[in-house]
Structure 1
């Protein structure tokens, strides 16, 4: 008889084992440590795709992966339950029963009558105890900004350094928008329809000192846009849903992934976010202290909305306009067509814009929000534009003149509207009962994760060969070294050139060694 004991791990424990396996620890080492057989660890690894979604959904203490016989009702009821709890509404068993029966009718599920035993199993599946999610606490409900800054913020501030305090916020972005279409898009809420194809949502996060800019999270409509076909690695994290909105599931997944990353580095941070339906409370975070700002204070209290997102979009649109000017300069025809911008183009330009954003701009936006200065009243009303880095606040009129040099009918007023056209774009939805049912049906019919953009054709970016990359790097290196007086830029260009050159020679070596005769000659 085997001396190895059978052990049933919780979802949290299984997730920890998965991350240790991913970090390089062997199956044998973990099996010995936990006193289980190798097959137990292998089974956990095999079930990774089932374990991680449960962990991201705060289902931590369950030991067995149980599924409901009516999954659509289960999913809809869980979404509704989380929304009510985030609103502070108490929920009991009979109310859950009534709502489960309601969703069954809406989803056209026959012969379903919710019993208390079904509700009890529902609670066990989702770690719901005593009418609330285990570990949950309601957000702060102080609407007065000054009170929050004077009474709540000092206690939080004392526990973390400037480098450890982060703020994150989403913004909608019309990534295809060119200046000639500005009036058409002005004030668009993007609740569906044609214009929703033109937007992405970008999650932006940075620390108070401006020394760390978190990798951008971009949310698009398609799981696999056609323009991604020849792309191996994206410079951003990418998620998708049918409206390109932030959802509670995406936010939870993003925060938990960041939490695991920080835990590996033995670092702890404070993360400030606004209070909205897409930002749920997340239990059992090890390295992130998640704090919700008071309701309805985004416009004056959230650092990202004090100029960081504005500067990011300014750089993005500058990149797009520069691309247009480049095409105009090379256009011999009297007629000019605006460039076709793909999701990949949008991602590359917004990432470049994020890289360009200056540290001083980020720091001063935290100062504007009242997180740095002691005089709270003064900092809240301050709007001194001189606090922004000059390069992060380039007047759009400069670009207007550049385009007008090519006789395109775009005025300075058009550019002013162009700068702020998508400020009011919705980044998440208010989950009504109808929306919950609609999303459940859409998910199960795979419409959320469909390829492409609802039949819209997008160009597939051609694969660039390593020889072409080396030639381009050599050309760019000559330009940088002989035309720019910037030592840092020259150093960076040299590193890029060397990296591409190394890749080129590695490719050549691999090509030579594909023939067995090459080895025999040696």
Structure 2
């Protein structure tokens, strides 16, 4: 027994001496690589630990992420760097690149270290190969990552990974979501002012909103748009009882991880009440974190660097709704001209923008959405039929370029075709989330708080009074019955008229009482 006891003690000491103690950032690196699709066994072999150690790190990833994000990055058993700012910045950049599946060489790390040194205004710093070697030792960074550990390419993902992911879901239960930026106040005459603008900060952030667009593969289920503005309570929202979109705000009017997580969790809760489970495809980006406590949503990240070809929303859906929004804005301009108003170009409030972009979203046909999934390679066949139509048999093509559409207006719009073409694509490159990671590292500014007090002075537009609404409803009622032979449309107008009449009646009874 004594011999056995001695053997156990020696074995235990031997195992303890081999036990590795990872720093928070090293654990974060492992988590990022797991989320990028690398296998537990592969990482365990590379780091020289058991697969249960990797599994434990993954199990505690939410706590580790919290520690990492709060900058509790305490190094363990390492030699301090004399260029601490560069060291920390390079480490954060390295972890972010690895989470995206990017392979990094020594020269690339040297180049980025020199970049950070310049940004921090550190003189006489010239990153050498030996400095990078010490950097790797300090943070327990291994050698070159094998090709098999990288994210698979598009073709492999579609043929090997996607069939496995989707096999348990019908087309109606497969959704995709993506963000886009929109210069909602922009009129065609201001195109040059905004050309090439990414709009990450400054006064132009007041001119833009960020949209999150989500729909299913069949095209018959469209989530209400998520709209992110700059002000938490714009003045034009006063007296508004209902918005047809989900509205969030922050100082830069962009998507953040907290907004994304809130939106997904709220949707997950709705699906629980419906006893329905879905698969949700999103881009692989920093503002789309893993969400571990979902019960009814299977969150799937597209492979890194494949968004432009695999994301259905980028196959025409986003382009069409933004183009439709701008066509409606052009009609507002022409209506101002018809009324001989002093200003041809109307002032668009964020409320106007929300209502108009929602109209564009509702107008988008299921067929257009379904075919966008097909063009991305996710669906099996393209459907035939008109792109979009109303029940009054007036077909409206979804994807007519703005300049072609405006050409039918017989030169009523004093804007050149070239300007309209530029206008139609002006915000394609607008930032929809936090600025490039290395710039944010240098600024050390991760604050996403809403700018509660920001209100656009130009958006102080009073709500119509009940008498104005009553008269407008009567005019709209006569117009619809004179121009449309559509039972569902006339029924909707009847509901609208009844609601407005009731409000008018109540205003009179309140006055009499």
- TM-score, structure 1 as length reference: 0.66
Q: Which runs of 5+ in 1 are unaligned?
A: 1-57, 62-66, 90-105, 107-139, 516-522
The corresponding residue for 1:488 is: 488
Separation (CA, whole Å) in 1 of partners of 2:179 and 2:217: 17
* Pair 1:205-2:214 in alignment: yes
Distance 1:184 1:484, change over 3 A: same
Q: Alignment partner for residue 379 of structure 2, among 372, 381, 389?
A: 372
Separation (CA, whole Å) in 2 of partners of 1:442 and 1:151: 40
**1:315-374 deviations in whole A, cap 9, x for unaligned?**
1001100100110111166xx441111211111111111111111111111111112227
* Pair 1:162-2:167 in alignment: no
Three-state SS of the structure 2 residue aligned to 1:458 is helix
The corresponding residue for 2:428 is: 423
**1:133-175 deviations in whole A, cap 9, x for unaligned?**
xxxxxxx953421111111111222211111110000001010
* Pair 1:226-2:235 in alignment: yes
Separation (CA, whole Å) in 1 of partners of 2:209 and 2:101: 31
| Cα shift at 1:83 | 5.7
Three-state SS of the structure 2 residue aligned to 1:328 is helix
- TM-score, structure 2 as length reference: 0.67
* Pair 1:355-2:355 in alignment: no
Indicate conservation of the 8 Å contact 2:236/2:461, yes or no.
yes
Which stretch of structure 1 is more off in the superposition, 352-361 or 494-503? 494-503
Indicate conservation of the 8 Å contact 1:225/1:451, yes or no.
no
1:266-305 equivalences under 5 Å are 266-305=275-314
| Cα shift at 1:440 | 5.7
Separation (CA, whole Å) in 2 of partners of 1:285 and 1:141: 26
**1:411-445 deviations in whole A, cap 9, x for unaligned?**
112111111111111111257476369676856xx
Q: Which runs of 5+ in 2 are unaligned?
A: 1-59, 74-87, 103-119, 121-148, 389-395
| Cα shift at 1:399 | 4.6
Separation (CA, whole Å) in 1 of partners of 2:403 and 2:337: 18
Separation (CA, whole Å) in 2 of partners of 1:238 and 1:332: 32
Q: Alignment partner for residue 395 of structure 1, among 378, 381, 401?
A: 401
The corresponding residue for 1:46 is: none
**1:196-217 deviations in whole A, cap 9, x for unaligned?**
2211100000011111110111
Distance 1:471 1:337, change over 3 A: closer
The corresponding residue for 1:405 is: 411
Q: Alignment partner for residue 182 of structure 2, among 152, 173, 178?
A: 173
Distance 1:411 1:351, change over 3 A: same
How many aligned residue pairs are there?
384
Indicate conservation of the 8 Å contact 1:277/1:430, yes or no.
no
Separation (CA, whole Å) in 1 of partners of 2:150 and 2:470: 57
Which stretch of structure 1 is more off in the superposition, 198-207 or 393-402? 393-402
**1:97-129 deviations in whole A, cap 9, x for unaligned?**
xxxxxxxxx9xxxxxxxxxxxxxxxxxxxxxxx
Distance 1:436 1:474, change over 3 A: farther
Separation (CA, whole Å) in 2 of partners of 1:439 and 1:217: 28
Separation (CA, whole Å) in 2 of partners of 1:476 and 1:430: 46
The corresponding residue for 1:186 is: 195
Q: Alignment partner for residue 259 of structure 1, among 248, 251, 268?
A: 268
Three-state SS of the structure 2 residue aligned to 1:393 is coil
Indicate conservation of the 8 Å contact 2:281/2:302, yes or no.
yes
Larger radius of gyration: 2
Separation (CA, whole Å) in 1 of partners of 2:329 and 2:419: 15
Indicate conservation of the 8 Å contact 2:200/2:435, yes or no.
no
Provide the alpha-carbon RMSD of the alignment.
3.5
Separation (CA, whole Å) in 2 of partners of 1:508 and 1:268: 49
**1:217-253 deviations in whole A, cap 9, x for unaligned?**
1111121222222323222111111111111111001
Distance 1:470 1:183, change over 3 A: same
Distance 1:141 1:481, change over 3 A: farther
Separation (CA, whole Å) in 2 of partners of 1:365 and 1:148: 18
* Pair 1:346-2:348 in alignment: no
